[in-house]
């Protein structure tokens, strides 16, 4: 299994422009919430717990995150649990509202992501490696930690592989 540093470095290689990273802080949570909402129907009661495709997929994703890193995995578990809870609340709305909100979040989130990749001048990571769809949310959590001064050793390891992030001007000069 690839390491946390391997996954984040591969993903980060597609995300060195700070404007692109900023769009991901908006777009990825929207996509995660949209997917959680859309996959929260149908739900089947198992021992008094509503089990939906969203819950099953999220459990698998959390296991992946925890296997990579316990600290980031714990933060991801909280983030994903919040998304599944909010997604279930959206799924409880009238069918038209559920579809409009869930689908709207999903589509708008991707639109924001693609604007970021115009800044980057590079295609999204998942185009070359579908695991990027799972690593994206982990990337923004790691980037938030880096911004707070956490996990400096991880940030240094990633930047030693793919270089530091760049501002818009630096990105344009590099082209």
Q: pLDDT digits over 75-84, tens only?
A: 999 999 999 9
> Could you read off the pLDDT of 98-136 as tens digits, one per residue?
999 999 999 999 999 999 999 888 888 888 888 999 999
DSSP state, 127? G
Residue pLDDT, tens place only, 90-100: 999 999 999 99
What is the distance between the alpha carbons of residues 162 and 83, in angstroms, rounded to a whole number? 30
CA distances from 156 to 3, 5, 40, 164, 174 (A): 15, 10, 38, 9, 21
């Amino acid at each position: 299994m690839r390491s946390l540093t391997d996954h984040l470095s591969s993903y980060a290689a597609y995300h060195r422009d700070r404007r692109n990273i900023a769009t991901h802080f908006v777009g990825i949570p929207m996509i995660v919430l949209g997917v959680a909402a859309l996959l929260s129907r149908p739900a089947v009661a198992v021992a008094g717990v509503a089990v939906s495709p969203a819950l099953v997929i999220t459990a698998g994703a959390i296991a992946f995150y925890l296997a990579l890193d316990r600290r980031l995995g714990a933060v991801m578990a909280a983030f994903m649990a919040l998304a599944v809870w909010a997604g279930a609340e959206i799924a409880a709305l009238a069918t038209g509202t559920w579809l409009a909100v869930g689908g709207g979040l999903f589509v708008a989130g991707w639109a924001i992501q693609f604007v970021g990749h115009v800044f980057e001048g590079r295609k999204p990571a998942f185009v070359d490696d579908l695991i990027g769809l799972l690593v994206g949310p982990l990337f923004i959590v790691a980037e938030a930690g880096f911004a707070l001064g956490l996990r400096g050793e991880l940030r240094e390891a990633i930047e030693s592989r793919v270089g530091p992030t760049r501002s818009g001007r630096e990105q344009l000069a590099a082209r």
